[in-house]
Amino acid sequence: MEKVLFLAILLTFSLIPHIMSIPFDERDLESEEKLWDLYERWQRHHAVSRDHHEKQKRFSVFKENAKFIHEFNKKGKSYKLELNKFGDLTTEEFKGSYAGSRVQEHRMFRPRTMTNKFSYGSVNVGDLPLSIDWRQKGAVTGVKDQGKCGSCWAFSTVVSVEGINQIKTGNLISLSEQELIDCDTGDDSGCNGGLMENAFDFIKKSGGITTETAYPYKAQNGTCDASKMNSPAVVIDGYETVPANDEDSLLKAVANQPVSVSIEASGKPFQFYSTGVFTGDCKTDLDHGVAVVGYGVDQNGTKYWIVKNSWGPTWGEQGYIRMQRGIAAKEGICGIAMDASYPVKTSHNPPKKGKISLLSS
Segment 242-267, tens digit of pLDDT = 999 999 999 999 999 999 999 999 99
What is the rounded average pLDDT of the residues 121-133?
Answer: 98
One domain, residues 45 and 139: no
- The amino acid present at 267, given as its one-letter code, is G
β-pairing, 303-308 with 273-278? unpaired
Residue 232 falls within a domain, yes or no? Answer: yes
Quote the longest CA-to-CA distance of the chain. Answer: 71
pLDDT tens by residue, 211-243 = 999 999 999 999 999 999 989 999 999 999 999
Mean pLDDT along residues 118-137: 98
Do residues 247 and 272 share a domain?
A: yes
Cα–Cα distance, 150 to 264 (Å, whole number): 14
On whether residue 17 sits in a domain, the answer given is: no
What does the pLDDT read at residue 239? 97
CA neighbor of 160 nearest in space, from 139, 142, 129: 139
183 carries an active-site annotation: no
Q: What is the domain-level CATH number for residue 194?
A: 3.90.70.10
Q: Is 309 a catalytic residue?
A: yes
- Among 63, 83, 103, the domain boundary falls at 83
231 part of a folded domain = yes
Of 43, 58, 83, which one is at a domain's C-terminal end? Answer: 83
- The pLDDT tens digits of the residues spanning 148-194 come to 999 999 999 999 999 999 999 999 999 999 999 999 999 899 999 99
- What mean pLDDT comes out for the span 183-209? 95
User: Annotated catalytic residue: which of 84, 106, 152, 183?
Assistant: 152
Give domain status of residue 7, yes or no. no
Active-site hit among 183, 288, 334, 349: 288
Burial category of 316 from C-beta neighbours within 10 Å (exposed 0-12, middle 13-18, buried 19 and up): buried
Nearest-angstrom CA–CA distance, 333 and 338: 10
Same domain, 69 and 154: no
- The answer to whether residues 164 and 124 belong to one domain is yes
Q: Are 298 and 98 in contact (CB under 8 A)?
A: no
User: Is position 281 within any domain?
Assistant: yes
pLDDT of 21: 72
Question: Over 90: is that where the pLDDT of 203 sits?
Answer: yes
- Is there a contact between 91 and 217 (Cβ–Cβ < 8 Å)? no
Determine what percent of the chain is predicted with pLDDT higher than 90. 81
| CA contacts within 13 A on the Cβ side of 282 | 30
Q: What is the pLDDT of residue 17?
A: 44
pLDDT of residue 122: 96
Reduce the secondary structure of the chain to three states and give it as a string: CHHHHHHHHHHHHHHHHHHHCCCCCHHHHCCHHHHHHHHHHHHHHCCCCCCHHHHHHHHHHHHHHHHHHHHHHCCCCCEEECCCCCCCCCHHHHHHHHCCCCHHHHHHHCCCCCCCCCCCCCCCHHHCCCCEECCCCCCCCCCCECCCCECHHHHHHHHHHHHHHHHHHCCCCCECHHHHHHHCCCCCCCCECCCHHHHHHHHHHCCCECECCCCCCCCCCCCCCHHHHCCCCECCCCEEECCCCCHHHHHHHHCCCCEEEEECCCCHHHHCEEEEEECCCCCCCCCEEEEEEEEEECCCCCEEEEEECCECCCCCECCEEEEECCCCCCCCHHHCCCCCEEECCCECCCCECCECCECCC
Residues 190 and 67 in one domain: no
9 within domain boundaries: no
Same domain flag for 35 and 108: no
Question: Is 80 exceeded by the pLDDT of residue 301?
Answer: yes
Q: What is the residue range of 62's domain? A: 22-83
Partner residues linked to 253 by β-bridges: none
Whether 173 and 33 share a structural domain: no
* Of 84, 165, 198, 309, catalytic: 309
| Domain's final residue, options 67, 83, 99 | 83
* Angle at the Cα of 100 from the Cα atoms of 294 and 114, rounded to 5 degrees: 55
Say whether both 75 and 94 belong to one domain: no
User: How far apart (Å, rounded) are the C-alpha atoms in residues 50 and 40?
Assistant: 10
Q: Do 289 and 326 belong together in one domain?
A: yes
Q: What is the pLDDT of residue 117?
A: 87
How many domains does the structure of the chain reveal?
2
Is residue 203 domain-resident? yes
Give the C-alpha distances (Å, rounded to integers) separating 356 from 49, 123, 324: 51, 29, 41
Question: Can you tell me the distance from the alpha carbon of 35 to that of 306, in angstroms, rounded to the nearest whole number?
Answer: 34
In a domain, 199, yes or no: yes
- Does the pLDDT value for residue 357 go beyond 80? no
pLDDT category of residue 106 using cuts at 50, 70 and 90: low
Task: State whether 162 and 74 are in the same domain.
Answer: no
Is 98:293 a contact under the CB 8 Å cutoff? Answer: no
User: C-alpha angle 159/160/164, rounded to 5°?
Assistant: 120
User: Is residue 6 scored above 60 in pLDDT?
Assistant: no
Q: Active-site residue 288, yes or no?
A: yes
Q: Specify whether 31 is located in the same domain as 105.
A: no
Alpha carbon distance 285, 43 (integer Å): 32
Q: Higher pLDDT residue, 346 or 352?
A: 346
